[in-house]
Amino acid sequence: MHGETLFALAMIGILGMACQWLAWWARLPAILFLLLGGIVAGPVTGWLQPDILFNQLLFPIVSLSVAVILFEGSLTLKIHDIKGLGTMVRNLISVGAALTWVGSAVTTHYLLDFSWQLSFLFGAVVIVTGPTVIIPMLRTVRPNAKISNILRWEGITIDPLGALMAVLVFDFIISGQGENAIGNVLVEFSKIILVGGVNGTVAALALGYVLRQHLIPEYLRNVLALTLVFGVFALSDLMVHESGLLAVTLMGMILANMKDTNIDDILDFKESLSVLLISGLFIILAARVEFHQFQQLGTGAVLVLLILMFIIRPVAVWLCAIGSDLTFSEKTMIAWIGPRGIVAAAVAALFAIRLEEAGYSEATLLVPLTFLIIIGTVVIQSATAKHIARWLGVREPPPTGVLIIGAGNVARVIGKALQSLDLKVVLTDSNWENTSLARMEGMNTYYGNPISEHADRNLDLLGLGKMIALSGRGNLDTLASLRFRKEFGSNNVYELKTNREQLISDKHQISTRHRGYKLFGEDVTYGKLANWIGNGAEIKKSKLRDEYDFESYLKNYEGRVLPLFALDTRGRLQIFTSEKELKPSNGWQIISLILPKDRLQATAVAS
């Protein structure tokens, strides 16, 4: 028995990672594959039975996992991101939520013949959209910053509010709708707000103080944050049931906007943990659904889904947008994206069990109906949102552009070469003369330190997918590589070696694991490029053919060519490095720095 339990736990993790990888490969939200994986593991094959596997620990595990997911999502909510959009977000999580709640309840009551009590509980459950489905969808769709920020803030902040609304409706149902029912609900609501608000605020201030004063070692920061989230959630729920979600969400939001408090390592840790938890939770909850329950719902459930997507959500968004500066296209895009996620699934499963125990037999249909809404919104919207965004003209260009650290002579030459390939290029430098010269040459610039707090707020990375460090200052380039690795991924961060690195021993050199790929080859340095450019070297492009392959190209310019970049047959930018060997073939365009023949000897002497 012990071996079977251990194997089941391991297989949930492996299945979850397989679904995540498949989602990445297919460029679709992972929730779709996770739900399908859970359904196959559960009702289809009968292999996974979560209630037997976890027994009484099932919903405590689900609750703690949802708490971590909400905390991680709220850590990304920066106040400056929502500047000018706060009214729209506030309307969506108040007026919009109320319209969705009432509209869904009325629709469910008349189409599925649910009781009013269960209909309003279902309406509260499907208020939430959730970061677990919104954020992956935004990565794929790439709508403009205004749309992304509104949807992200709505998805994260409405999760605890939706759970809170579900709790209030549940309490109303259990209280028997007597004379004191409304009074009991109002009292419960006040308790949840008070306890969740106080606990979340106190925990955030305490953790922020500990981090700023360095009262714990670095290796304990992540573990302390995680255990504190567990503690705050559990304490709040113990004091007032269901106040924990509000507490951890508020805790994350306060930490994210606290001055002089570095939470990057905590956020990185929580992001990785959230992927694991989300993967396991969706598989486990989907495995609990039975097919006969879907059959009991009938075609009315599909009509509920369609009305929710095509009538209730658009009406709510357009009413909330009255008086805003959102365009018709932006309102339409926001109205179309509203998938439901893990909180809806977890809350529905939790209250269904409690209502069944209280004698509400029809509560068994609450879970399959919620899962139908989740699957329907995710599948339909993820399959169409990208095309709709492109049709509406609100989709950002693919992140093919390049951020260049430095705006000196070498950086400007490289920048112009990349710009000539119709790529977006942004140069950053703290030297005013360098940035002025780059601007005069027609390039986009940011004047300032690229790793400053000002850059975090004002450096526009939209459309950029790679970073190349060409400042000639090793420490700055390395810091920039560490800073932008999170934005672009470690495979898209590059550095140009400095002359000093060729002269110092290994024990004085910065570890390669903290750095980007070495640009243009092992023996190419900033000084070498500057020397070649000073001696008249120019950027030239050549297209390879069957009779003129890459070897012939190098032989033609033997000793006076430095291949820098290449465009493959699909128009993708490839960068020559010492770590990754490129094999250009027929149809590729090679971009190189080529030295005049008469200057070859002069550069050799200088080197």
Q: What is the pLDDT of residues 338-358, one digit of tens each?
A: 888 777 777 777 777 777 766
Packing angle of the helix pair 218-239, 264-287 (nearest 10 deg): 50
Indicate the residue among 392, 423, 449 that finishes a domain. 392
Model pLDDT, residue 601: 57
If phi over 0 gives left and psi between -120 and 50 gives alpha, with beta otherwise, what is residue 454?
Answer: alpha
Question: Any idea what the CATH number is for the domain that residue 363 is in?
Answer: 1.20.1530.20
Confidence (pLDDT) at 346: 72
Domain assignment present for residue 4? The answer is no
Q: Domain for residue 27, yes or no?
A: no
Maximum Cα–Cα distance for the chain, whole Å? 98
DSSP per-residue codes, 377-406: HHHHHHHHHHHHHHHHT-BPPPS-EEEEE-
Are the CB atoms for 137 and 382 separated by under 8 Å? yes
- CA dist 499 and 496 (Å) reads 10
Any domain includes 49:
no
Cβ neighbourhood burial of 323 (10 Å; 0-12, 13-18, 19+): exposed
Residue with tokens 């679709």: 28
What is the C-alpha to C-alpha distance for residues 285 and 262, in angstroms, rounded to an integer?
35
Specify the higher pLDDT residue, 350 or 418.
418
Q: Which residues pair with 495 in a beta bridge?
A: 469, 518
Q: pLDDT-based confidence at 605, cuts 50/70/90? A: very low
Let me know whether 349 and 468 are in one domain: no
| Final residue before a domain boundary, out of 367, 392, 417 | 392
In a domain, 81, yes or no: yes
Using CA atoms of 74, 78, 83, 89 in order, give the dihedral in degrees to the nearest 10: 0
Task: Give CA angle at 392 (389, 395), nearest 5°.
Answer: 40
Say what the pLDDT of residue 310 is. 92
Binned at pLDDT 50, 70 and 90, residue 267 comes out as: low
pLDDT of 391 over the 70 cut? yes
Distance CA 212, CA 258 (A): 10
Q: Are residues 352 and 413 in the same domain?
A: no
pLDDT digits (tens, 9 = 90+) for 271-328: 666 677 778 877 887 787 777 777 777 788 889 899 999 999 999 999 988 888 888 9
Q: What is the CATH number of the domain that holds 596?
A: 3.40.50.720
Please compute the mean of the pLDDT values over residues 446-474 and round it to a whole number: 76
Residues 374, 405 within the same domain: no
Most confident of 158-167, 319-328, 450-459, 508-517: 319-328
Q: How many CB atoms lie within 10 A of CB 484?
A: 24
Three-class secondary structure of residue 188 per DSSP: helix
What distance in Å separates the CA atoms of residue 406 and residue 398, rounded to the nearest whole number?
A: 23
Give the separation between CA 199 and CA 251, rounded to whole angstroms: 8
Asked whether the beta carbons of 315 and 123 are under 8 A apart, the reply is: no
- pLDDT reading at 363 higher than 70: yes
pLDDT digit string (tens) for 27-41?
A: 666 777 887 888 888
What pLDDT is attached to residue 303? 92
Residues 500 and 419 in one domain: yes
**Rounded CA gap, 130 and 138, in Å?**
12
Instruction: Find the length of the chain.
Output: 607
Beta bridge partners of 425: 402
The answer on 370 and 518 residing in a single domain is no
Which of 392, 416, 441 is the endpoint of a domain?
392
Burial class (CB in 10 A: 0-12, 13-18, 19+), 205: middle
Residue 314: per-residue pLDDT: 92
Tens-place pLDDT, residues 131-174: 667 777 777 777 887 888 888 878 777 776 776 677 777 767 76
Same domain for 488 and 343, yes or no, is no
Whether 341 and 412 map to the same domain: the answer is: no
DSSP 113: -
* DSSP tag of 519: B
User: Cα–Cα distances in Å, from 512 out to 69, 507, 515?
Assistant: 32, 12, 5
Same-domain status, 409 and 529: yes
Same domain flag for 448 and 381: no
- Report whether pLDDT(469) > 60: yes
Q: pLDDT-based confidence at 606, cuts 50/70/90?
A: very low
Q: Do residues 236 and 198 make contact, with C-beta atoms less than 8 angstroms apart?
A: no
CA 30 to mean position of chain CA atoms: 12
* 182, pLDDT greater than 70: no
Structural domain span for residue 409: 401-606
Q: Which of 296-300, 513-517, 552-556, 601-605 bottoms out in mean pLDDT, i.e. has the lowest?
A: 601-605
Beta-strand pair 538-543/401-405: unpaired
5 is a domain residue = no
Asked whether the beta carbons of 459 and 433 are under 8 A apart, the reply is no
Residue 11 belongs to some domain of the structure: no
| Pair 226, 103 in one domain | yes
Q: Which of 24, 77, 78, 142 is nearest to 401 (CA)?
A: 142
Angle between helix 244-256 and 181-212 (nearest 10):
40
The pLDDT assigned to 311 comes to 92
Burial 97-135 (b: 16+ CB within 10 A, else e): bebbbebbbbbbbebbebeebbbbbbbbbbbbbbbbbbb
* Higher pLDDT among residues 2 and 375, named by residue: 375
State the total domains in the chain: 2
Task: Kindly list the strands in the beta sheet with 573-575, ordered across the sheet, starting from the edge strand earlier in the chain.
Answer: 538-543, 589-594, 561-567, 573-575
- The residue with greater pLDDT, 489 or 337, is 337
In a domain, 462, yes or no: yes
Contact 113, 143 (CB under 8 A): no
Write the burial class of residue 500 (CB in 10 Å: 0-12 exposed, 13-18 middle, 19+ buried): middle
Are residues 70 and 117 located together in one domain of the fold?
yes
The pLDDT score that the predictor gives to residue 18 is: 87
For residues 603 and 366, what is the distance between their CA atoms, to the nearest angstrom?
76
* Residue 524 domain flag: yes
- Global pTM reads 0.67
Please list the residues that pair with 429 across neighbouring strands: 447
In this structure, the answer to whether residues 388 and 405 fall within a common structural domain is no
Q: Quick check: 520 and 562 in contact, CB under 8 A?
A: yes
